[in-house]
C-alpha cells in the first residue's frame, strides 16, 4: 500500500491558514498537525504553573502566557503552542505576524502519551536552537516528575530531574522556584 500523499506547505502558507483556523495546529518542516486538547490533569498542571510563575515574575518585566501564543523556534522550521511560555523584556515577533513570538526565555510542556515523542525529539532540538531560550521544561502528568533543561554560561545544555512532591524546581533561567506540591496540586489521582 502506498503512503498517503501529504502536501508540504511553506511557513507563510501555514501562518495564513492558522490565523483563521478554528483549532490549533503545529507546523514542523512543512507538515501541519492538529494539536489535540489535553486532559484535566494536563490543564491543572499547566494552570498551576502559569499562576505560580505569574506571581513570581510579576513586576519584573516578564510576561507569562498560556498555550494560545504561537512560538516560532530559532531555526524557523517549527511553529507551536507551548503549554507555558515566559517572555522577558521586549517581545520579538515574526515580521508582519505580531501574534507569533520568537524570543521566549522559558518554555514548559506538560507531557501527554500522544505528544511525548515529539516533545522529547523534534521540539527538544528546535527549542534548544532558539538563542533566547534559557530553560525548557518537561512536566509529567502521571507522577510528580519534572525534567529541566538549562542553557549554561557556555551555551551548553544541562539536564536536571526533580521528582517527588517534597522537591522544588529551581528555574534559574527566570529566577523562580516552584514547589512540586504546588505544581501538582489537584492534578494527581484524577480519575479519567
Q: pLDDT digits over 134-186, tens only?
A: 999 999 999 999 999 999 999 999 999 999 999 999 999 999 999 999 999 99
The pTM assigned to this predicted structure is: 0.91
Tell me how far apart the alpha carbons of residues 67 and 21 are, in angstroms, rounded to a whole number. Answer: 15
Indicate the SS3 state at residue 18. Answer: helix
Cα 70 from chain centroid (whole Å): 10
Residue 192, pLDDT > 60, answer no
pLDDT at 34: 84
The mean per-residue pLDDT over the stretch 113-136 comes to 89
Q: Which three cell numbers stand for residue 68?
A: 494560545
β-bridge pairing 31-34 and 84-88: unpaired
pLDDT over 90, % of the chain: 71
Residue 36, pLDDT > 80, answer no
Residue 1, pLDDT > 50, answer no
Tell me how far apart the alpha carbons of residues 103 and 100 are, in angstroms, rounded to a whole number. Answer: 10
Sign of CA dihedral 145, 28, 81, 148: positive
Catalogue all structural domains in the chain, each as residue range(s) with its CATH number: 37-183 (3.90.1570.10)
pLDDT tens per residue across span 50-92: 999 999 999 999 999 998 899 999 999 999 999 999 999 999 9
Tell me how far apart the alpha carbons of residues 180 and 129 are, in angstroms, rounded to a whole number. Answer: 28
The secondary structure of the chain in percent helix, strand, coil, rounded to multiples of 5, reads 20, 30, 45
Amino acid at each position: 500500500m502506498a503512503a498517503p500523499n501529504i502536501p508540504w506547505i511553506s511557513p507563510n502558507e501555514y501562518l495564513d491558514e492558522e490565523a483563521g483556523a478554528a483549532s490549533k495546529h503545529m507546523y514542523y518542516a512543512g507538515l501541519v498537525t492538529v494539536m489535540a486538547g489535553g486532559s484535566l490533569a494536563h490543564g491543572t498542571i499547566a494552570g498551576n504553573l502559569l499562576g505560580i510563575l505569574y506571581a513570581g515574575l510579576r513586576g519584573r518585566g516578564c510576561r507569562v502566557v498560556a498555550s494560545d501564543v504561537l512560538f516560532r523556534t530559532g531555526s524557523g522550521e517549527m511553529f507551536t503552542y507551548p503549554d507555558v511560555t515566559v517572555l522577558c523584556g521586549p517581545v520579538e515577533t515574526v515580521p508582519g505576524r505580531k501574534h507569533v513570538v520568537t524570543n521566549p526565555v522559558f518554555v514548559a510542556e506538560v507531557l501527554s502519551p500522544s505528544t511525548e515523542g515529539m516533545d522529547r525529539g523534534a521540539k527538544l532540538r528546535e527549542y534548544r536552537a532558539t538563542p533566547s531560550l534559557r530553560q525548557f521544561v518537561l512536566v509529567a502528568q502521571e507522577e510528580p516528575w519534572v525534567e529541566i533543561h538549562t542553557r549554561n554560561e557556555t551555551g551548553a545544555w544541562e539536564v536536571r530531574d526533580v521528582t517527588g512532591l517534597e522537591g522544588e524546581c529551581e528555574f534559574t533561567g527566570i529566577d523562580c522556584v516552584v514547589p512540586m506540591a504546588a505544581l501538582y496540586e489537584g492534578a494527581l489521582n484524577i480519575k479519567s
